Amino acid sequence: MTEPSDASLQVAAEEAGHRLDAFLAKHFTSYSRVQLRRAVSEGQVLVDGRKAKPSYRLNEDQIVFITFPSRGPTGPAPEPIALDLLYEDECIAVVNKPYGMVVHPAKGHWSGTLAAALSHHFTHLSSVGGATRPGIVHRLDRDTSGVILVAKTDTAHTKIAAQFEARTVAKEYCALVSPSPDRDRDWINAPIGPHPYQREKMAIRPDDASAREAQTFYEVKERFKGISYLKVKPKTGRTHQIRVHLTHAGYPILADKLYSGRSKIVRGDISGLREDTTVLLNRQALHAHRLEIEHPASSERMEFVSPLPEDFSRCLAEIRKYRTLR
């Protein structure tokens, strides 16, 4: 059946006072909250014929009209993209994702995705995540490298997703930050929600109803002059969580253009020799190093580790060379 391109709804008495974004999420469950908020921001949602903000409080009998956001392709076309497999059996696969690869199709990224590569390499993948996310149980940001888990069956997907929901999955990331944290280890506990006016960003939103609880533990592995190498363990899994939390705490990740404003690190930044413009890192210095789960079939506790990629290792080596504390 063809999905309608638009729809209108009348606000019921019991829905009076509800936020517009919450109202839309209730009635149009096949769309994500991010998609619906974007539709509001782009003027695709009208309340009594007028544009409104996602936070607008509705009144009884108002008419909400929506032109549905485009979904794009129904699923990724298989592409013969090389995969670095860390582990595989009949239930799961574990991939070492390179930076620069988008996990699943989205606006502006319909090809070259991990989902397209998985569709080419594997005959069977779980369908729980929908047509555009075959086998995808969780995700990593495009420019974050490292361990990502893939479910081959719906049963495996459901069991692993339950572990993420119960927060029994152990995740460990490596990060380079500047300046250095004051404490050697700490918890960051601050709710994260969409940025109020920059839609590509997330932000700490303690007073916003759409914000979700987020917890991150970090520990300093090595300290250098003005830079630290961190081990980071997120307890929750919010969008951009580590990047937002570390920026909020005052020590953003190196070369994180979205949150620190710098898109690359050159050797001169580290050595002090400004004429040396050799690029060491041109993406955020964040790597998903370790993932530990209970196997969905055997219940065995399993650990998967991705070594530091070449660009991250090269940058760290230069920092050790030029920024070691004396």
Question: Catalytic residue positions?
Answer: 141
Cα 170 from Cα 156, distance rounded (Å): 17
State the pairing for strand pair 145-151/286-294: parallel
Cα 189 from Cα 199, distance rounded (Å): 22
Cα 82 from Cα 114, distance rounded (Å): 10
Structure tokens, 59: 């009144």
What is the length of the chain?
A: 326
Cα 90 from Cα 93, distance rounded (Å): 8
Cα 231 from Cα 158, distance rounded (Å): 29
Radius of gyration of the chain from its Cα atoms, rounded to whole angstroms: 22
- Exposed/middle/buried for residue 274 (C-beta within 10 Å: 0-12, 13-18, 19+): exposed
Give the residue among 137, 145, 144, 146 at the shortest CA–CA distance from 115: 137
The label of the residue with tokens 């570390």 reads 246
Cα 37 from Cα 286, distance rounded (Å): 28
CA angle 133, 137, 138 (to 5 degrees): 100
> Using an 8 Å Cβ cutoff, are 120 and 87 in contact?
no
Cα 192 from Cα 210, distance rounded (Å): 8
The label of the residue with tokens 């839609």 reads 199
Give the residue among 3, 144, 145 at the shortest CA–CA distance from 66: 3
